[in-house]
Amino acid sequence: MEQQLLLLISFALLVTPVLLKRWRWFWIFCCALGIPMILVWAQHFYAISRPEHTGSPGTALGLAFLMVPTVALALGMFLRYLRWIVEVLISEHRERRSSDQ
């Protein structure tokens, strides 16, 4: 059940930035989720850099539970950036075509 929920959340984090039309909502969404993820990663790296840290068998599982949504959000943001570039190129092409006629 947890794996299905993790995959559903990750899919939502991947698709939502791509589907957002306005840049304001895109940045609000990404900052609201990205900043806490950055803080959790910073806390993780701080904890493992401590000399008394010995690790545990569950560390890899915890990293997987955090890595999958983080990568999904980053990939969604990148795909939205690519979508924006394609939209700009298409609009420039249409302008060139309409000015040539």
Give how many domains the chain has, as a whole number: 1
Structural domain boundaries enclosing 71: 2-100
Torsion from C-alpha of 70, 85, 18, 91, nearest 10 degrees: 170
Please report which helix (H) or strand (E) contains residue 62, including its range. Answer: helix 59-100
Consecutive sets of 10 residues in the chain, 101 residues long: mean pLDDT of each? 86 93 91 94 90 82 88 95 94 90 70
Q: What is the pLDDT of residue 74?
A: 95
Q: What is the pLDDT of residue 24?
A: 93
Q: What is the pLDDT of residue 54?
A: 82
Rounded CA gap, 34 and 32, in Å?
6
